[in-house]
Structure 1
Amino acid sequence: MKKIFITGGAGYVGSQLVPKLLELGYFVTVLDLMIYGENILPVHENLKTIKGDIRNTELLEKNIPGNEIVLHLACISNDPSFELNPSLGKSINLDAFEPLVKVSLKNDVNRFIYASSSSVYGIKKEKNVTEDMKLEPLTDYSKFKGDCEKILNSYKSDNFITTTIRPSTVCGYAKRQRLDLVVNILTNHAFYNREIKVFGGDQLRPNVHITDMIDSYLAVIDAEPNIVNGEIFNVGFRNQTVNELASDVKKVIGEDVKIVNTKSDDNRSYHVSSEKIKNILGFSTKYTVRDAVLDLQNAFEKKLLTNTFDNEYYYNIKRMNNINLK
């Protein structure tokens, strides 16, 4: 039985990934602050959950030994959340990273997988942005993601397999839901307000269904060490404009949904190629943005998600504001 240590395992992606790993027979240890709820993960004999901070190296030293794989998901996610408290963001997203890598290395972890971001590229003119292109991050959040990639790569060896994933924006339903990501935001407004506000609209936003995101991590975990060591993989479904995303949402939720366009100063536009992970690992996405919208629609209809505009647990920045995390 493989043992895997996951930071941030009670987050949006982790809440779907951990049950899948348990189903596949892994022994999983999750370290998470649990600020978005403490009953997100299942009760399972092969799951150990630790409510704690990745900045606590004593906690890492105590719990990492015996694990073969470390999957590092924990971070202050996305630019607005990061900018709410930049010093907090730096301490978690950058300063805590190298100590985590060192503890992993010292305790004979064989593989370290890092969740970076496709935002590290910044704005590119090229149609397909590939993993070997220069990083031109526009924000500290993105810059620190890139910095961590370099730190991790400097520690790689035949006995310490390092892999970085650069996800597109994740969408769809999860046990720990986020409604502050573009497709999820649009779907929430379409379903309840029958109106979508699109700021700008021509910006490209690559998205990836949460199930595909999970499967990409599994593909890396299952891969032969020599083909993923030191590698970086983009993971995304398709590069669509915000207008196209809004249109997809409307087609699922209902033709009565009104789309209102307004001007925007947000010039961020991402268009990434996911050909490398397809060519090397044979991984291709199976789900579309419309699938994610359908999943959310189903969750809304079944009241799996309630008070969807005001519940702080669905919005990172609201929750962080309220708990005053330091």
Structure 2
Amino acid sequence: MKILITGGAGFIGSNLCEYFLNKGYKVTCLDNFATGHRHNIEPFFSNKNFELIEGDIRNIEDCNKAILGADYVLHQAALGSVPRSINDPITSNEVNVSGFLNMLVAARDAGVKRFVYAASSSTYGDSESLPKVEDRIGKPLSPYAITKYVNELYAEIFSKTYGLETIGLRYFNVFGRKQDPNGAYAAVIPKFVMQFMKHESPVINGDGNYSRDFTYIDNVIQMNELAMLTENKEAVNTVYNTAFGDRTTLNDLVANLKTYLAEFDSKIADVKVVHGPNRVGDIPHSLASIDKAKTMLNYNPKYSMKAGLKEAVEWYWKNLK
């Protein structure tokens, strides 16, 4: 079996590459290294089953080249981050919408068995209902959220019009090994970890009572595999929440981080936290219902937020100290 993983040098993509290479799959990684990193995939260069194609999903020729001979596509390539999309909506749209459409066309023309793609919990927008259920969404609150919702619409049309099997995975605040702590748009967990390790005070947006369904990377890998391989035809051509199904406030997250990091460096327990203004486009609370994934895909997430956080902290301490 051959899998094309777009964005394969990124955080989630490189973890998927590693997992499926270890299971004996042939893996092609397509990445332009705009946000991904070569060091994430360098360990795979000596693996005969791994192929890197340096290219851009905004270029249809790169998409067609990368997808040649692929049985499945795991489409992770995107420009993430709500603030990034607010600062530069045009590039976010070009990558996340036009690039996505290119990949759908390439997948259709190549006759792949299934196209599994990274959707987003941002699609729930201003909907205040909790937990989030797949068929009830609100209006988007950012350009990024719009792009990810458009992905779902395009995937549905390609399923109905061309018979391409698609499954969208609405990721909820994924974290874990290889997640980049650097840059203006770094995710909150690796960013805070690095700041604590340097004895710097992290800044929480708002009062810290906003909550998220933080989801460990291994749960996300599990969902990708289930979506890719399910033989339940009723389970395809739809979207699934990809989460643990529990929520944690930012204040509790920081408290847990300090506790786990203090096991390596006791001084971290004394680092103060600073509160700043809420971010534009942020939703107050996020909590996924994972009932649909459990029923249709037999999803059973192995890692709670705390269990995943302990693993992530240990990885960061060993690899980035």
Let me know the Cα RMSD of the aligned residues.
Answer: 2.1
Q: 1:191 to 1:231 in 2, by over 3 A?
A: same
- C-alpha separation in 1, matches of 2:62 and 2:187: 31
- C-alpha separation in 1, matches of 2:195 and 2:306: 15
2:166 equivalent among 136, 156, 162: 162
Structure with greater proportional helix content: 2
Q: Unpaired runs of 5+ in structure 2?
A: none
1:223 equivalent among 205, 225, 230: 230
Instruction: Name the SS of the counterpart of 1:193 in structure 2.
Output: coil
- C-alpha separation in 2, matches of 1:116 and 1:257: 38
Q: Unpaired runs of 5+ in structure 1?
A: 307-326
Q: 1:265 to 1:229 in 2, by over 3 A?
A: same
Tell me what 2:299 maps to. 283
Tell me what 1:67 maps to. 70
Is 1:192 the counterpart of 2:198? The answer is yes
Deviations 1:177-235 (A, max 9, x none): 34521222232223331644322211121111111111111111121150321121001
- C-alpha separation in 2, matches of 1:67 and 1:159: 17
- C-alpha separation in 2, matches of 1:295 and 1:66: 36
Please report how far the alpha carbon of residue 263 of structure 1 lies from its aligned counterpart in structure 2 after TM superposition: 4.9
Instruction: Name the SS of the counterpart of 2:241 in structure 1.
Output: strand
Q: Give the letter for the 1:277 counterpart.
A: A
- C-alpha separation in 1, matches of 2:106 and 2:203: 46
The number of residues matched between the two structures is 303
- Of stretches 69-78 and 157-166 in structure 1, the one that deviates more from structure 2 is 157-166
CA contact (8 A) 1:110 1:159 kept: no
Instruction: Name the SS of the counterpart of 1:19 in structure 2.
Output: helix
CA contact (8 A) 1:131 1:232 kept: yes
Tell me what 2:254 maps to. 246
Deviations 1:50-94 (A, max 9, x none): 011111111222332321111110011111233343221111111
Q: Give the letter for the 1:218 counterpart.
A: E
Tell me what 1:153 maps to. 156
Q: 1:10 to 1:225 in 2, by over 3 A?
A: farther
CA contact (8 A) 2:199 2:271 kept: no
1:299 equivalent among 315, 318, 321: 315
- C-alpha separation in 1, matches of 2:123 and 2:272: 30
Is 1:38 the counterpart of 2:51? The answer is no
Tell me what 1:5 maps to. 4
Tell me what 2:218 maps to. 211
Tell me what 1:310 maps to. none
The TM-score normalised by the length of structure 1 is 0.86
Once the two structures are superposed, the pairs formed by residues 51-130 of structure 1 within 5 Å of their partners are 51-130=54-133
Please report how far the alpha carbon of residue 296 of structure 1 lies from its aligned counterpart in structure 2 after TM superposition: 3.8
- C-alpha separation in 2, matches of 1:113 and 1:229: 9
Q: 1:294 to 1:226 in 2, by over 3 A?
A: same
Please report how far the alpha carbon of residue 166 of structure 1 lies from its aligned counterpart in structure 2 after TM superposition: 0.2
CA contact (8 A) 1:187 1:296 kept: no
What is the percent sequence identity of the aligned residues? 26
The TM-score normalised by the length of structure 2 is 0.87
Instruction: Name the SS of the counterpart of 1:115 in structure 2.
Output: strand
Instruction: Name the SS of the counterpart of 1:112 in structure 2.
Output: strand
- C-alpha separation in 1, matches of 2:74 and 2:181: 20
- Of stretches 251-260 and 229-238 in structure 1, the one that deviates more from structure 2 is 251-260
CA contact (8 A) 1:206 1:240 kept: yes
Tell me what 1:133 maps to. 136
- Of stretches 288-297 and 223-232 in structure 1, the one that deviates more from structure 2 is 288-297
Instruction: Name the SS of the counterpart of 1:295 in structure 2.
Output: helix
CA contact (8 A) 1:30 1:48 kept: yes
Q: Give the letter for the 1:264 counterpart.
A: P
Q: 1:259 to 1:268 in 2, by over 3 A?
A: farther
